[in-house]
């Protein structure tokens, strides 16, 4: 997929800058997506999550995986309905294997398990820049009309 198209998908995610956990998509096609995000030390949640030893909350890691693995892939798969629908998170089963500290870059990859009747299910994993696996599992989402 062309870089300009990948940037457009990230730019059109329905999240503000303080809650967008996608810096860049590296690959995106009908079957899978790979994207990255750097958890910056200035993130709002580090100040209060494990004071003096901050780690990224698991719910934020799940959100990052959902934004890349579901929202980006889902929006790409339903691109013919652009502007008429949104893709929302519905359920997940994620196993956490490591923590994420400030200034860590994560790589999220998701493979489509199915996309039918407006519902997308993906197998997803998150690794750090040193190829340490952080989390893995599955998640799903669905199309909702605006």
93 is catalytic: no
| Full residue range of the structural domain in which residue 112 is found | 3-145
pLDDT at 129 over 80: yes
For residue 93, the domain's CATH number is 3.10.129.10
Q: Are 25 and 34 in contact (CB under 8 A)?
A: yes
Phi, psi angles (nearest 5°) of residue 39: -80, 105
Mean pLDDT of 93-101: 97
pLDDT of residue 17: 85
Number of compact structural domains in the chain: 1
pLDDT at 82 over 60: no
Alpha carbon dihedral 5, 70, 10, 127, in 10-degree steps, equals -100
- Which one from 20, 38, 49, 119 is the annotated catalytic residue? 49
């Amino acid at each position: 997929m062309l870089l300009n198209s990948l940037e457009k998908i990230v730019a059109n995610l329905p999240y503000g800058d303080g809650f967008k956990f996608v810096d860049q998509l590296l690959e995106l096609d009908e079957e899978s997506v790979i994207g990255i995000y750097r958890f910056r030390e200035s993130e709002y949640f580090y100040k209060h999550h494990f004071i003096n030893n901050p780690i990224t909350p698991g719910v934020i890691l799940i959100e990052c995986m959902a934004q890349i693995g579901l929202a980006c892939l889902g929006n790409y798969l339903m691109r013919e309905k652009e502007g008429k629908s949104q893709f929302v998170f519905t359920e997940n089963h994620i196993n956490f294997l490591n923590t994420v500290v400030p200034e860590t870059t994560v790589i999220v990859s998701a493979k489509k398990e199915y996309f039918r009747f407006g519902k997308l299910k993906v197998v997803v994993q998150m690794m750090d820049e040193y190829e340490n696996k952080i989390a893995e599992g599955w998640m799903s989402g669905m199309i909702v009309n605006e």
